Structure 1
């Protein structure tokens, strides 16, 4: 409760680690946690992007800790966990597994190497980092918020490896929630729909296709539009907060109603 009696989100004194923090949903989440008073550890492999979000957070009023590392390299994940522990000791309250990539392709067009890269980036990295930081999270009775996707809840064509990775993340979320609930650790995921980030263009989508999807969202989303990164960040902060103290094992669609729409 705030001084005026209203419910507020306040992460003052809480340590929050966010992966994929240099762009899109991760960036919006970092800025929001910063405004809410959290002590931040921000992780990304894009050094320039990481420096940019560190500067943005400093302007907001916090002093985040940046760690540049490639999450698909086990040794670098171990380094990220070590640096976080060295900086904040045994304290970690929230882990946001936000790093991920999008890949389009069917079984016929997806090579094994590409499939492995998607699974390593979207699933294995979250698994290993969570495993390494689990002792701190159990000690604080903290929480994990995984960034999955609507493709974990509904199947979309030409996205075989991505669909599989998101379904795996959702099972990872539910499994951890069951395994560690009695120890006080909450684990949830957000499942964004089409969000205005650089994720799609980074996957190779051209401007014309992107514009077409944005236009079609008027009919393919119940709310008639695509989403903003800040809208997903709000859901992440809610799930990480005491307001969601009795919520675990949830895969929360933040998709403008995309997953409840019937196919055209």
Structure 2
């Protein structure tokens, strides 16, 4: 993936989890970085780690932002182009989880979920489209296996990831004639802080990870580096003929669940 060296990538949700590891891995490949996240302290730590991976400090732009806010989304796009002058890769990774079933959901939970998980990627894709067309760049949307299958008590989240996959496939048709590729990665359960941020207790989280031994064909949850490497592949010229794909990185969870219904959570 040497083609990423010297390219400019915007990674949202880069202050933790998959976004932070994607930033670190991109840095090791020599990719210049615009990093957005809500936690400014964590974002600075990630930037330091990117420097340790060989990326000069002046090739890292930090933009603290809440992508649930329309003006913050615009700020991320504007500042990225203002600083670097161009864009080669957009990684729409920022996401939130607000657990709810059909009995417990609220419109507030729905709106907060869709604002970050769907509206922000749509807005960024729209705003940055002209710059990605100039560079014949790539977009990678970080979706979820729960965009293509059901999960109890997570209606807003599952719906938002299905919508994000639709954005991937529909924007593919619009952007492919301009040489811009758009793909999604759809991870299974990955060890990240997102579940605890949603209100899951430490005990429940450990039980959730233990359950992965039964619900994932590979018998374990995934790790952030396993997702980051696929994101980098899709962002690089190594995937030059890949577009409009929803790539599951789920240790066989989707197939196992479909084939053996008794393994459902």
Q: CA deviation at 1:102?
A: 1.5
Q: CA deviation at 1:10?
A: 3.8
Asked if 1:210 corresponds to 2:169, the answer is no
Counterpart Cα distance in 2 of 1:178 and 1:204 = 38
Partner of 2:66: 70
Equivalences for residues 239-258 of structure 1 within 5 A: 239-258=234-253
Q: Write the deviation string for residues 74-109 of structure 1: whole angstroms up to 9, x where unpaired.
A: 1111111111111111x1100000000122211220
Partner of 2:30: 37
Counterpart Cα distance in 2 of 1:76 and 1:225 = 36
Partner of 1:140: 135
Asked if 1:157 corresponds to 2:152, the answer is yes
Segments of structure 1 that go 5 or more residues without pairing to the other structure are: 1-7
CA RMSD of aligned residues (A): 1.0
- The structure where helix makes up a greater share of residues is 2
Counterpart Cα distance in 2 of 1:175 and 1:68 = 29
1:119 to 114, 126, 145: 114
Q: Secondary structure at the match of 1:67?
A: strand
Q: CA deviation at 1:16?
A: 0.5
TM-score (normalizing by structure 2) = 0.94
Q: Secondary structure at the match of 1:233?
A: helix
Q: Secondary structure at the match of 2:68?
A: coil
Partner of 1:27: 20
Equivalences for residues 3-22 of structure 1 within 5 A: 8-22=1-15
Counterpart Cα distance in 1 of 2:14 and 2:21 = 8
Q: Secondary structure at the match of 1:252?
A: strand
Counterpart Cα distance in 1 of 2:6 and 2:52 = 19
Counterpart Cα distance in 1 of 2:100 and 2:159 = 12
Partner of 1:230: 225
Q: Write the deviation string for residues 12-36 of structure 1: whole angstroms up to 9, x where unpaired.
A: 1100000000100000000000000
Segments of structure 2 that go 5 or more residues without pairing to the other structure are: none
Q: CA deviation at 1:156?
A: 1.2
Q: Write the deviation string for residues 163-189 of structure 1: whole angstroms up to 9, x where unpaired.
A: 100000000000011111111010000
**Alpha-carbon contact 1:10-1:37 (below 8 Å) kept:** no
**Alpha-carbon contact 1:150-1:193 (below 8 Å) kept:** yes
Counterpart Cα distance in 2 of 1:223 and 1:67 = 37
Q: CA deviation at 1:252?
A: 0.3
Q: Between 249-258 and 210-219, report the one with greater CA deviation.
A: 210-219
Q: Secondary structure at the match of 2:41?
A: helix
Counterpart Cα distance in 2 of 1:234 and 1:26 = 12
Partner of 1:82: 78
